[in-house]
Amino acid sequence: MRRRNLEELFFKFLMVLATLIVGGSFFLIVGTIFYKGAPYMTFDMLTKTPGGGFYIGKEGGILNAIIGSMYVAGGATILGLIISIPVAIYLNMYMDGKKFLSNTLRMVFDVLFGIPSIVYGAFGFLIMVYFGLRASLLGGIIAVTLLVIPILVRTLDEVIRTVPLELRDAALSLGSTRWETAKVVLRAIRPGIITAILISFGRAIGDVAAVLFTAGFSDNIPTSLHEPAATLPLAIFFQLGSPIEEVQGRGYASALILTIVVLIITILSELLVKKFYKHKS
Amino acid sequence: MIGYVILSQSGQPINYYIQLMQRIRLLKDKIISKLMLLFTILSVSLVFIIGIGLYYKSIPVLQNSTWGHLLTSSVWKPLKGLFGFYPYIMGTLWVTGIAIIIALPLCVLTSLYIVEYAHSRVRRILMPFVNLLSGIPPVIFGVWGVLFIIPLIQDHIAPHFVEFSTGYSVLAGGIVLAVMIFPLIVSILNEVLRTMPQELKDASLALGATKWETIKKVILRKALPGIIAATVLAISRAFGETIAVLMVCGNNAVVPHSVFDAGYPLPALIANNYGDMMSIPLYDSALMFAALLLFIIILLFNIISRIILSRLERKMAA
Amino acid sequence: MTKDKAHISVQDLNVHIGGNHILKDLNIDIPNKSVTSIIGPSGCGKTTLLKTFNRLHDTAADVKVTGKVLVDGEDIYDPNTEITHIRKKMGLLSQRPYPLPMSIYDNVAYGPRIHGTRKKQDLDIIVEKQLKATALWNEVKDRLHSSATRLSIGQQQRLCLARGLAVGPEIILGDESTSALDPVSTSIIEDLFVKLKQDYSIVLVTHILRQAARVSDYIIFVYDGRIVEYGKTEQVLRNPREELTKEYVKGYIV
């Protein structure tokens, strides 16, 4: 009897320890990034592009990467939505009675979701070579769009499934066509669409491997789709490798900015999800 | 015809204008449905297009060598057209293996604790942080690895075991990856454990088993498919992780022999060499072959785990 | 059309859902401009029957329908029949109110809008008329443009009725439409049914016998997917011909 209890106590201790490690790792990471990045956070960091040449220039900030990230993540999310909303609607509202097929398609999107961004990057690079594009903002947007499509499709799919069938029946029984009914459903899930946008944007803004081959890198803010663009993760990756302290510091500051942006996005989407589900039930 | 009114069977007026509107609406519905079908087919076929595209680009290197040779040779001399992926494959396996060995027990214990033992408040507090962790971009994990894990290994762990280590090692890659896959494993295990029927636990408890014995003998056994699925999914995630691992594991193309050796995983190989790949013949083909390799392995692992999970879901629902 | 002419005519109807035979060889004529109640124990197929009238099964998986359902003489299961036009003829009032995610005004105006009424004055007239017809006008006329979800459940259900009436249907289908409502709202809805039968054919599914007695002219008793008895309300409830009906009316079968 004694031994049994001791064993349980021992494992319970291990469990608490494991929980502390898993939960604590978040604070450890964010803490490290804040500790290293905060000293380099200046107003110039947010408002100036880097000066004095790539990799060695000590002056300026990372406005190029901030704007570049917004362009890439924003462009990819918009393109992704244009493709994903019809797909999610089709899966849910136009495949009535073909449950096996629609579930198989859902699995394909799950699998697509699992494909690593480096493969999307390599494939995006292939597309660019095929069409004779140089590494540019457009190339980055295309690669990241491929990356976010499965995320958007599956998130929207889950959200549409929370809409009660009766609401669809109500619209249909007024004589709506399926498309008109779909518009009603889209109205009903507006908060869900915003959640999907946030999740996609958060994933898009943080990814490196997909933009590494495709977006190029530049100290300037891109003025057209065909110019190379920097993104925050790329700026972190490249600037950290520099031997010059100020450049490294820009890298740490970029890491801090990216972390804050991503945390805000994640928290917002979590809150929205909570509100959405509370509203539903 | 607008305004021309006739009477239908039910005696109500039918306006041709309204009929025309109706036709237009139906046509619109039809066109939109075809468009959506097109989008769906296109995005689903992305899987095949990626696979075919990568394979097509790998043909030159495959003609120059064989699958077997590419996978088992250690000679990497791009200028001579020799591409042996063995060290890279081993680098990937080491890093992934270490990550799973660290993450799996921690995540199983954590999930058991928050589902079976802890107050539901603990779950409500912990899970948002796990979600936040999953939202942190890979490059940030990489920075954290460089700033925190590398010095930790270099100054505090490695000295106990080896004479000298820079810290940049497969162990560092494994630890960083382990933290990255925490959220994935914990959230799946959470779901799996929470769907365990209460009757099952009650039956075991009623036989006089303690809570821990119930967990050990009944719950873990029942949850095994779920744990396997989560592991397989985590492996496939770890396999493809590029930037964070690249930043910390040393990128030395030799087969690692201890956890403190540097390694060079496949994704890092692709990411590090993209700049040169256009100038050396066959090099781009070899890198695309590496991408194809990742793609195939991850595809298989993903499909396996999804099938296990959906079976489990159906079994629990029934 | 005269009063007792069949409005919906069901011929040899069979419905299978996921391998289960839910409705078996049904033949009924549902008369014009009267209230017909479908009663029966839960799970007997009465809601399934109602849904076959406007083909709402189309959205569900694994449903197989054979036989004919004629509405105004037109077979709605004929592949050439255009379904939105059939559904427009029938207003559906479901168990719980499901207002569309828009304002009160837009809920009522939704149907007319999609069917081609665009002018604001026309829509204003329709909205006011239908909200008055469902005794809702006085309660909501000052907040027509606030969200419909803020109304009480009873008000929402009347709004859904108004929304259905606004597309100019000929038939109203009610699927236990009062089961989620309080007694006051229930009696308002019941009164509306009685009033509306002057202009519409009404088919109600209900498991409340007293409600069937209060509002309906005809009763269809369904048991285990078959029609056991069909006749005038008075006759079916007071004087059932079949043994099963007798037991159900007495409350032995629930």
CA distances from C99 to A164, A168, A184, C160, C233 (A): 11, 11, 11, 6, 32
Query: What is the residue whose two structure tokens read 């991850």?
Result: B298
In the predicted structure, residue B291 carries a pLDDT above the cut 60: yes
Structural contact between residues A37 and B242, judged by C-beta atoms closer than 8 angstroms = no
Of A97, A176, A187, the CB nearest to C102: A187
CATH fold of the domain at A43-280: MetI-like fold (1.10.3720)
Range in A146-155, B33-42, C109-118 the model is least confident about: C109-118
End-to-end Cα, chain A, rounded Å: 46
Sequence-ordered list of residues with C-beta below 8 angstroms from that of C121, at least 6 positions apart, any chain:
none
pLDDT in tens, A155-170: 999 999 989 988 998 9
Structural contact between residues B86 and B255, judged by C-beta atoms closer than 8 angstroms = yes
| pLDDT at position A52 | 67
In the predicted structure, residue B9 carries a pLDDT above the cut 60: no
Percent of chain C with pLDDT over 90: 42
Instruction: Please report the beta strands in C47-93, taking only residues with DSSP state E, as ranges in sequence order.
Output: 63-71, 74-75, 90-93
Output C233-236 pairs: Cβ under 8 A, ≥24 positions apart.
C233/C37
- CB-based contact B10 C72, cutoff 8 Å: yes
- Higher-pLDDT residue of B170 and C42 is B170
- And the tokens for B148? 């925190």
Query: What is the residue whose two structure tokens read 């256009």?
Result: B278
C-chain residues near A166 (CB < 8 A):
94-96, 98
| pLDDT at position A187 | 93
The stretches in chain A having pLDDT less than 70 are 1, 52-56, 277-281
* Residue A281 Cα, gap to closest chain C Cα (Å): 13
- CB-based contact B50 A267, cutoff 8 Å: no
B-chain residues near C168 (CB < 8 A):
12
ipTM of the complex: 0.92
A83 torsion bin: left (phi>0), alpha (psi -120 to 50), beta (else): alpha
* Residue C122 Cα, gap to closest chain B Cα (Å): 15
| pLDDT at position B177 | 96
A53 torsion bin: left (phi>0), alpha (psi -120 to 50), beta (else): left
Q: How far apart are CA A80 and CA B169, in angstroms?
A: 37
- CB-based contact A175 C94, cutoff 8 Å: no
| Helix/strand/coil for B85 | coil
Percent of chain B with pLDDT over 70: 93
A 74-133 residues inside an 8 A Cβ radius of B: 83-84, 86-87, 89-91, 94, 103, 105, 107-112, 114-123, 125-127
| pLDDT at position A134 | 86
Q: How far apart are CA C131 and CA C134, in angstroms?
A: 5
- And the tokens for B146? 């460089």
In this prediction, residue B134 has a pLDDT band, given cuts at 50, 70 and 90, of very high
Which whole number is the average pLDDT over C115-121?
Answer: 88
Structural contact between residues B91 and B263, judged by C-beta atoms closer than 8 angstroms = yes
Q: How far apart are CA A76 and CA A34, in angstroms?
A: 28
Sequence-ordered list of residues with C-beta below 8 angstroms from that of C74, at least 6 positions apart, any chain:
B9, C81, C86
Q: Which of B76, B97, B96, B100 is closest to B86 using CA atoms? A: B76
Interface of B with C (CB under 8 A): 8-12, 17-18, 21-22, 25-26
B-chain residues near C85 (CB < 8 A):
22
* Residue A276 Cα, gap to closest chain C Cα (Å): 13
Q: Which of A125, A146, A126 is closest to A214 using CA atoms? A: A125
| pLDDT at position B4 | 39
In the predicted structure, residue B2 carries a pLDDT above the cut 60: no
* Residue B14 Cα, gap to closest chain C Cα (Å): 12
- Higher-pLDDT residue of B286 and A274 is B286
| pLDDT at position A274 | 81
Which whole number is the average pLDDT over B205-221?
Answer: 87
Q: Given CB atoms, is B212 within the 8 Å cutoff of chain A?
A: yes
Kindly give the pairing relationship between strand C218-223 and strand C171-175: unpaired
Q: How far apart are CA B195 and CA A205, in angstroms?
A: 34
In the predicted structure, residue C62 carries a pLDDT above the cut 80: no
Q: Which of A66, A68, A74 is closest to A227 using CA atoms? A: A68
- Mean pLDDT, all residues of chain B: 88
Question: What is the 3-class SS of chain A, one letter each residue?
Answer: CHHHHHHHHHHHHHHHHHHHHHHHHHHHHHHHHHHHHHHHCCHHHHHCCCECCCCCCCECCCHHHHHHHHHHHHHHHHHHHHHHHHHHHHHHHCCCCCHHHHHHHHHHHHHHHHCCHHHHHHHHHHHHHHHCCCCCHHHHHHHHHHHHHHHHHHHHHHHHHCCCHHHHHHHHHCCCCHHHHHHHHHHHCHHHHHHHHHHHHHHHHHCCHHHHCCCCCCCCCCCCCCCCCCCHHHHHHHHHCCCCHHHHHHHHHHHHHHHHHHHHHHHHHHHHHHHHHHHHC
| Helix/strand/coil for B83 | strand
| pLDDT at position C253 | 65
- Mean pLDDT, all residues of chain C: 88
| pLDDT at position A264 | 95
Q: What is the CA radius of gyration of chain C?
A: 18
- CB-based contact C85 B21, cutoff 8 Å: no
Which whole number is the average pLDDT over B174-184?
Answer: 96
What are the residue ranges spanned by the domains of chain A?
Answer: 2-40, 43-280
| pLDDT at position B276 | 63
Which ranges in chain B are annotated with CATH 1.10.3720.10? Answer: 64-317
| pLDDT at position A219 | 85
In the predicted structure, residue B6 carries a pLDDT above the cut 50: no
Q: How far apart are CA C186 and CA C12, in angstroms?
A: 34
In the predicted structure, residue B182 carries a pLDDT above the cut 90: yes
- CB-based contact C72 B26, cutoff 8 Å: no
Which whole number is the average pLDDT over C163-171?
Answer: 91
| pLDDT at position B10 | 44
- CB-based contact C84 B26, cutoff 8 Å: yes
- CB-based contact A108 B147, cutoff 8 Å: no
- Is the CATH number of domain B64-317 3.40.50.150? no
Q: Which domains does chain C have, with CATH numbers?
A: 1-87+217-254 (3.40.50.300)
Of C72, C114, C168, the CB nearest to B9: C72
| pLDDT at position A51 | 76
| pLDDT at position C2 | 41
Which sign, positive or negative, has the C-alpha torsion B39, B45, B47, B50?
negative
Q: Given CB atoms, is A163 within the 8 Å cutoff of chain B?
A: no
In this prediction, residue B11 has a pLDDT band, given cuts at 50, 70 and 90, of very low
Of B10, B11, B22, the CB nearest to C85: B22
- CB-based contact B136 A117, cutoff 8 Å: no
| pLDDT at position B310 | 84
The residue type of B142 is: G
In this prediction, residue B3 has a pLDDT band, given cuts at 50, 70 and 90, of very low
Structural contact between residues A113 and A151, judged by C-beta atoms closer than 8 angstroms = yes
Q: How far apart are CA A211 and CA A140, in angstroms?
A: 5
Q: How many CB atoms lie within 10 A of CB C119?
A: 9
In the predicted structure, residue B5 carries a pLDDT above the cut 80: no
B84 torsion bin: left (phi>0), alpha (psi -120 to 50), beta (else): beta
Of B50, B233, B301, the CB nearest to A119: B50
